[in-house]
Amino acid sequence: DGGITQSPKYLFRKEGQNVTLSCEQNLNHDAMYWYRQDPGQGLRLIYYSQIVNDFQKGDIAEGYSVSREKKESFPLTVTSAQKNPTAFYLCASRGQGRKDQPQHFGDGTRLSIL
Partner 1 sequence: KNQVEQSPQSLIILEGKNCTLQCNYTVSPFSNLRWYKQDTGRGPVSLTIMTFSENTKSNGRYTATLDADTKQSSLHITASQLSDSASYICVVTYGGATNKLIFGTGTLLAVQP
Of residues 62 and 107, the one with the C-beta less far from partner 1: 107
Instruction: For residue 105, state whether it binds partner 1 (rule: CB under 8 A).
Output: yes
Of residues 54 and 100, the one with the C-beta less far from partner 1: 100
Q: Which of 2, 107, 112, 114 is in the footprint of partner 1 by CB under 8 A?
A: 107
Site string for partner 1, 19-48 (x = CB under 8 A): ---------------------xxxxxx---
Instruction: For residue 90, state whether it binds partner 1 (rule: CB under 8 A).
Output: yes
**Concatenated DSSP letters for 48-101?**
EEEETTEEEE-TT-TTEEE--SBTTB--EEE-TT-S---EEEEEEEE-SSSTTP
Q: Tell me the site size for partner 1, rule CB under 8 A.
A: 20
Instruction: For residue 52, state whether it binds partner 1 (rule: CB under 8 A).
Output: no
CA 5/CA 108 separation, integer angstroms = 8
Q: Which residues bind partner 1 (CB under 8 A)?
A: 4, 6, 40-45, 90, 92, 99-100, 102-108, 110
